[in-house]
Homo-oligomer: A and B are copies of this chain.
Amino acid sequence: MVHLNMQIVGSISAVSSSLHVGKAGPMVHTSACIAALMGQGGSKKYLLTWKWLRFFKNDRDRRDLVTCGSAAGIAAAFRAPVGGVLFALEEMASWWRSALLWRAFFTTAIVAIVLRALIDVCWRGQCGLFGTGGLIMYDVTSVDVAYHLRDVPSVIILGVIGGILGSVYNFILHKVLRIYNLINEKGTAYKILLACSISIFTSCLLFGLPWLAPCLPCPLDATEPCPTIGRSGNYKKFQCPPGQYNDLASLFFNTNDDAIKTYSARTPTLSASYGRFVGMLVSSGSNLNHGLYAVLGSASLLGGSMRMTVSLCVIILELTNNLLLLPLIMLVLLVSKTVADAFNGNIYDIIMKLKGFPYLEAHAEPYMRQLMVGDVVTGPLQVFHGIEKVGTIVHVLRTTGHNGFPVIAEPPLSESPVLFGLILRAHLITLLKTKAFLHAPEPIDVDAFKYFSANDFAKKGLVKMTKFKI
């Protein structure tokens, strides 16, 4: 399950990087990795281990830690603490407990407070580019959000197109990832070759495309130096003559904060540009601000691809700080998710299925109803009795690769054969290692909890335990 959750995090990071959400992916991944490390009781290899971490060394706490870690990642990347909690709730956790909600909220509250404190410390620019953006990345409070009933049809059209484009994006991603999988299977050399060629290709695009963009004259009312070379700013000189700047280069070679802040105002980018485009098309029938169409466009495309509703809504709200947009954002997300759901699954499910992770769906597939336990276990079945010789157990563990063994009490110990349950290989190994043997083959009514604690049977990190070694 932890492995699984880590992989969801992996897919999220893949998605967010591919959707140009920028630093969110790596940040979510990093936070979740730190959480998983704590859930393993630290790392002995890198001498990062503390004694108190052993309290988290069980499946449930490890899962909770990874969930909270990803919430912290989203909270830090988007500076959207409530969005982080909701993201963890909507995408990460299969089963939600009220304790988990409280823990995730605690985590992101700490993130918000630390972030705000650091922004406070760094406000004079002592920390490089950090802290200049403030808590709200892309503030549209000043934009006058006046919309009326007649704007609704164009917003619905935006949602439908966004849903279709989002599902098309998922479809293409599926195909591309399958090609990647085929290449990766051929060996390490091919893997490295693939990574290198993608990186070279992207670099060529990033550096080559701006050469095709025309140079624009610097605006007279620019509040920052224009054009600039070798420093952050919204007016990159690139190949342009003095007094002019390159539009596309400014977008590509900018910090994420600045790019987000300017993207809807001036420069076109992936999903927002689509919204702006639709906005221009339908602008005859509606008098909504084009910038608002850009925000709604990104919402619809993200909704069509990720299929999140509440969390996406809150993240966009926390990015833009304008609650008056809420009804329109909700409408566009509803429409785009509904439309996209008619075509294919959400992007995380697609990636997890492609990677072959053992993901347990909320609903069983219809064919599974016909399955018996015998259809899915590896035979021949090895059964242990209520009282068993140590030698037999060791022999069975050595000769089979089974992970669990049914325990059955037979006459004369009981009147009729009774299935006690299943004992796991890992638990047997723990019992053997602690030499919890009895000399006489007698059934005893001993309370096992006196000699063992749940901690003794907790998984020790992610070390593989499939082979039995004494």
- CB–CB A330/B109 < 8 A: yes
Whether a CB of chain B sits under 8 angstroms from the CB of A30 is no
Which residues of chain A from 75 to 110 have any CB-CB distance to chain B below 8 Å in the complex? 81-82, 85-86, 89-90, 96-98, 101-102, 105-106, 108-109
Whether a CB of chain B sits under 8 angstroms from the CB of A239 is no
Whether a CB of chain B sits under 8 angstroms from the CB of A16 is no
Whether a CB of chain B sits under 8 angstroms from the CB of A117 is yes
A136 to B141, CA, bound (A): 13
Which residues of chain A from 1 to 19 have any CB-CB distance to chain B below 8 Å in the complex? none
- CB–CB A327/B105 < 8 A: no
Q: What is the 8 Å Cβ interface bit string for chain A, positions 325-338, against chain B (1 contact, 0 not)?
A: 01100110110010
Residues of B within 8 A of A397 (CB): none
Chain B residue nearest to A321 (CB atoms) is: B323
Tell me which of B82, B106, B149, B318 contacts A120 (CB under 8 A). Answer: B149
Whether a CB of chain B sits under 8 angstroms from the CB of A259 is no
- CB–CB B98/A323 < 8 A: no
- CB–CB B310/A85 < 8 A: yes
**With contact pairs A141-B141, A149-B120 given, residues A102 and B327 touching in the complex (Cβ less than 8 Å):** no
**With contact pairs A102-B309, A136-B323 given, residues A331 and B109 touching in the complex (Cβ less than 8 Å):** yes
A117 to B152, CA, bound (A): 10
Residues of B within 8 A of A321 (CB): 322-324
Which residues of chain A from 215 to 236 have any CB-CB distance to chain B below 8 Å in the complex? none
- CB–CB A105/B323 < 8 A: no
> Chain B nearest CB: distance from A324 CB in Å?
6
Q: How many chain A residues have a CB neighbour from B under 8 Å?
A: 47
Tell me which of B106, B120, B149, B310 contacts A105 (CB under 8 A). Answer: B310
> Chain B nearest CB: distance from A8 CB in Å?
14
Which residues of chain A from 40 to 98 have any CB-CB distance to chain B below 8 Å in the complex? 81-82, 85-86, 89-90, 96-98
Q: Is the interface of A mostly helix, strand, loop or mixed?
A: helix
A135 to B147, CA, bound (A): 12
Q: What is the 8 Å Cβ interface bit string for chain A, positions 299-333, against chain B (1 contact, 0 not)?
A: 00000000001100110011001111011001101
Whether a CB of chain B sits under 8 angstroms from the CB of A446 is no
Residues of B within 8 A of A149 (CB): 117, 120-121
A251 to B121, CA, bound (A): 41
Residues of B within 8 A of A97 (CB): 362
A136 to B101, CA, bound (A): 26
Whether a CB of chain B sits under 8 angstroms from the CB of A112 is yes
Residues of B within 8 A of A89 (CB): 89, 101
Whether a CB of chain B sits under 8 angstroms from the CB of A427 is no
Which residues of chain A from 134 to 169 have any CB-CB distance to chain B below 8 Å in the complex? 135-136, 141, 148-149, 152
A116 to B328, CA, bound (A): 9
Whether a CB of chain B sits under 8 angstroms from the CB of A113 is yes
- CB–CB A309/B112 < 8 A: no
- CB–CB B141/A314 < 8 A: no
- CB–CB A330/B105 < 8 A: yes
Residues of B within 8 A of A115 (CB): 327
Give 12 CB contacts A-B under 8 Å. A86-B86, A90-B101, A97-B362, A98-B362, A101-B310, A106-B334, A109-B333, A109-B334, A113-B327, A120-B149, A135-B327, A318-B323
Which positions in A face B, CB cutoff 8 Å?
Answer: 81-82, 85-86, 89-90, 96-98, 101-102, 105-106, 108-109, 112-113, 115-117, 120-121, 135-136, 141, 148-149, 152, 309-310, 313-314, 317-318, 321-324, 326-327, 330-331, 333-334, 337, 362, 416
* Nearest 5 CB-CB pairings of A with B: A109-B330, A112-B327, A116-B327, A105-B309, A321-B323
